[in-house]
Amino acid sequence: MKVLAAAVQMSSGPDKERNLALAERLIRQAAARGATIVVLPEVFNWRGRRTEQEAAAEDLNGVTLRAMARLARELGLFLVAGSITERIAGQTKAYNTSVLLDPDGAILGIYRKIHLFDIELSGRVSARESDAKMAGSEVTCVAAPPASFGLSVCYDLRFPELYRKLAERGATVVSIPSAFTYPTGEAHWEVLVRARAIENQVFVIAAGQFGPNVHGFSDYGNSMIVDPWGRVLVRAGSEREEVIVAPLDFEELHRMRRELPCLQHRRLF
C-alpha cells in the first residue's frame, strides 16, 4: 500500500496568528497535492522569547490544537502538529509537545520531548532549553493503519535508543519536527536522519524550521522524507517555506524487513 506524506517547512516567530495562518495554508497545499500524512515543524505555532512563553503556552485544548483538529477533520489527514509549548497547570516550565491527530480530528498520540537542547557552540549557538522546558519521559508509538506512528522532536534525533524503542513498538513511520540549528544541521542533519531510517527500517518525515530566529541564530531547513533503505525521497532547501511530498510504500518496507531482517537479529538489549 502506498500513501503520500508531506513535510511542511516554516520560519515561525512570535506572532501566533500569523504562524497558524501560514501553517493552514501550507497544510492545505499538502492536501491539494494528495498527502494524507502531514508533519509540521517544531514550535510551529509560536517561537518567541522565554519571557513571553507563559503567555504564549497552551494546553491541549488550546486554539492551536483546535485549529489543527479542524483541518485534519476537514481534509481527512493524519496530522502531526509539529510541536507546541504545552502549559501544565501549577508548573512554571512547559513541555515541548508533539501531537498526532487522526482524520476525524481526534488526538491519537501525545509526545513530550525527552531530550532537551542544552548546548554551547563557541561563538555560534548557545541554547538551554531546560531553562524553560521540562523533559518528558514517555515513548509514544501509535498504530493507525496504514502506519504505526512513532513521535519524536528535533534534538531527540541524536539519541538512537529512542528510535529503537519506537521500532520495538512497531513504528513504520517516525516524525521528527525540528528547529535544527544551521551549524549542527550542516554537519549532522542528513546523516542522522538517514541513519535513524536505516537502522530501524522506517520511513522518517523530518519537518524543519529555516532561517534566522528570535534566539539569534539560524535554523537549517532541509526538511526531508527518507525511506527505510536510507534513500532521501525528497528534500527542501534552506531558505524558504516549502511543502515537500513523497510516497510511502509500505509493501516495500515490509519486503525490506523480510529480506534484511536486522531487527530480528539483535543480540544486545
Q: Report how far Cα 267 is from the mean position of its chain's Cα atoms.
A: 30
Residues 6+ apart with CB under 8 A from 68: 23, 79, 81, 99, 101
Catalytic residue of the set 113, 129, 133, 241? 113
Verify whether residue 113 is a known catalytic residue.
yes
CA 75 to CA 32: how far, in whole Å? 9
Catalytic entry in 42, 58, 86, 242: 42
Write the CA distances from 199 to 43, 188, 230, integer angstroms: 27, 16, 9
User: Which is catalytic among the residues 58, 86, 154, 241?
Assistant: 154
Could you tell me which of 219, 216, 192, 197 has the C-alpha nearest to residue 208?
Answer: 219
Q: Which amino acid is at 191?
A: V
Task: Please name the amino acid found at residue 31.
Answer: A
In the residue annotation, 2 being an active-site residue is answered as no
- The answer to whether residue 93 is catalytic is no
Per the structure block, which three cell numbers stand in for 137? 519521559
| Strand duo 203-206 + 107-112: pairing | unpaired
Active site residues: 42, 113, 154
